[in-house]
Amino acid sequence: MAELVVGDRTLALDEDGFLEDASLWDEEVAEKLAETEDVVLTDEHWEVINYLRGYYAEFGVAPMVRKMLRDTGKSNAEIYELFPSGPGKGACKIAGLLKPTGCV
């Protein structure tokens, strides 16, 4: 099992690099997860991350891509520019969500 060291904490990751325990996520964890995706977080990234976290907190799942695009006002190309590995692998991972089971 992979691990992510954040300060004095060692967090378990699944085989795809997602947190095993989403409750351990915080902004410091997000920064470390972003490093694994070669992403430097900006305010624009945080806008998407905060949207994903809010949606997940309310519904218990990651939003479908179309819903995320509509709600954030971003295009698919903009999401891939921010998160090169995509909305599921990149954005959801950095946001500390559990690995999506379907298309996000």
Is residue 103 among the annotated active site residues? yes
Q: Which strand (E) or helix (H) includes residue 9?
A: strand 9-13
End-to-end CA distance of the chain: 24
Active-site pick, 26, 27, 70, 103 = 103
Nearest C-alpha neighbor of 55 from the set 46, 44, 64:
64
**Residues belonging to the active site:** 103
